[in-house]
Amino acid sequence: MATLLAIDLGTTHIKGAVLDLDALRIGHIQRFPFPEPIVGLPDLFCEIDVDKVTHATRQLIAALLPHAVECVGIVTCGQMGGLVLTDERCAPHSNYISWRDQRLLMPHPSGKGTYWDHFLQRLSDDDRRQLGNEVRPGLPVSFLFWLVEQGQLPAHPVIA
């Protein structure tokens, strides 16, 4: 009986289930609270401690694995997104920046519009197509733009 673990890192809970690939059944549904955002950050920011997200996810996997006979992998959904900068060994170099983060709506230091306005001005029609015609504050590409604008991308190579 081949199985997969299905994981959803949601806004309020980290949820998971065992997918029975032979019987086409979903079972052993579990959920753990998603960690709260870090307190004390500027308005519009929504960052979560990566270690807390990792810990909750590992708890979920540990709860599901005893029920996942012949587990052949893990699948995740990607409807909403976030960003963690990591190095080549996957060590985190940032907090998890959640899709709920709206920092691009802050005024741009040029005094002309918001960071979001400047981001949109730099996107060509082809860029938009390559991004799936879905650009909005809260997507990882928008966070990368903000980090570049702030001079906050690490000097050494990282994986986003």
Give SS3 for 105. helix
Q: Residue 158 pLDDT > 70, yes or no? A: no
| pLDDT at site 81 | 79
So where are the chain's domains?
Answer: 1-79, 81-160
| pLDDT at site 13 | 92
Which CATH architecture does the domain made up of 1-79 adopt? 2-Layer Sandwich (3.30)
Most confidently predicted of 57-66, 71-80, 86-95, 142-151: 57-66
Percent above pLDDT 70 for the chain: 96
Q: Could you report the per-residue pLDDT of 110-143, keeping only the tens digit for each?
A: 999 999 999 999 999 999 888 887 788 888 889 9
Q: Is residue 11 very low, low, confident or very high in pLDDT (cuts 50, 70, 90)?
A: confident
Mean pLDDT computed over 35-56: 96
Q: Is residue 157 very low, low, confident or very high in pLDDT (cuts 50, 70, 90)?
A: low
- Which pair of tokens denotes residue 26? 């979903």
CB 99 within 8 Å of CB 44: no
| pLDDT at site 160 | 55
| pLDDT at site 131 | 83
Give SS3 for 53. helix
CB atoms < 10 A from the CB of 108, how many? 15
Q: Cα separation of 70 and 103, whole Å?
A: 43
